[in-house]
A and B are shown apart, each in its own frame.
Chain A
Amino acid sequence: MKSPGEDTTMGISVALDGDTRQAAAARVAEEHELVRKSQAGNRLAFEELVRRYDRDVLRLAMNLVHRAEDARDIYQESFLRVYRNLDRFRFECSFYTWLYRIVTNVGLDHLRRRTSHREDQAPVPEEAEGGTRDFFDRQPELSAASNPEKTLLGQEVGEKIRGAMKRLSPRERIVFEMKHYQGMRLRAIGEMLGTSEETVKNSLFRATKKLRASLDGIR
Chain B
Amino acid sequence: MNLRQSGDENTMSRPCREFEPLLVLLASGEELDAASHENLTAHLAGCADCSAELGRERELLALLSEHTSEPDAGLLASCRANLEDALDREEEGSWWRRVVGAVVPASWLSPPPAWSAALLVLIGFSVGLFGPRLLRHPTSPASFVISNSADANASGVNANAPASSAPSSLAPASSALSALDLHTADVAGINVFPSGSDEPPQVQLQMRTQQPVTVQGTVDDDNVKNVLCYILQNNDRFGPDVRLNAADLLRARHNDPEVRSVLCHAVRSDRNAAVRLKALEALNGADPGDIMRQTLLDALVDDQNPGVRMEAINELRGMAAKGELASDDDHLLSVLRNRMQSDSSNYIRLQSAAAIRDLSGR
Contacts and interface: CB of A to CB of B under 8 A. Distances in A.
B3 A217 contact: yes
Given A39-B241, A90-B272, A91-B274, A54 B60 contact: no
B28 A7 contact: no
A76 B356 CA distance: 48
B326 interface: no
Interface string A8-32: 0110101110000110110011001
Size class of B's contact patch?
35 or more
B286 interface: no
B197 interface: no
Contacts of B278: 32
Contacts of B83: 50, 75-76, 79-80
A126 B62 CA distance: 30
A41 B79 CA distance: 22
Interface string A201-215: 100110010011001
Interface in B107-164: 159
Main secondary structure of the interface of B (DSSP, over half): helix
B231 to A, nearest CB: 16
A170 B56 CA distance: 24
Contacts of A218: 1, 3-4, 63
Contacts of B303: none
A212 B349 contact: no
A63 B353 contact: no
B195 interface: no
A16 B65 contact: no
Contact of A76 (B82, B281, B311, B350): B82
Contacts of B241: 36, 39-40
Interface residues of A, number: 71
Nearest to A39: B241
B75 A68 contact: yes
A194 to B, nearest CB: 18
A66 B240 CA distance: 41
B277 A32 contact: yes
Main secondary structure of the interface of A (DSSP, over half): helix
Contacts of B57: 208, 212
Interface stretch (A101-109, A115-123, A150-158): A150-158
B68 A181 contact: yes
A132 interface: no
Given A180-B64, A218-B1, 7 more contacts: A12-B350, A25-B310, A32-B277, A47-B84, A204-B25, A215-B63, A216-B9
Interface of B: 1-6, 8-9, 12, 20-21, 24-25, 28-31, 56-57, 59-61, 63-65, 67-72, 75-76, 78-80, 82-84, 86-87, 90-91, 106, 159, 240-241, 244, 272-274, 277-278, 281, 305, 307, 310-311, 314, 317, 337, 340, 347, 349-351, 353-354, 356-357, 360
17 contacts: A7-B354, A14-B353, A14-B354, A21-B314, A25-B311, A43-B87, A43-B91, A46-B87, A58-B71, A62-B71, A76-B83, A80-B86, A84-B90, A139-B69, A139-B72, A216-B56, A219-B1
Q: Give the top 9 A-B pairs by smallest Cβ distance, nearest first.
A: A91-B274, A62-B69, A9-B357, A58-B71, A217-B6, A9-B353, A75-B79, A12-B353, A208-B24
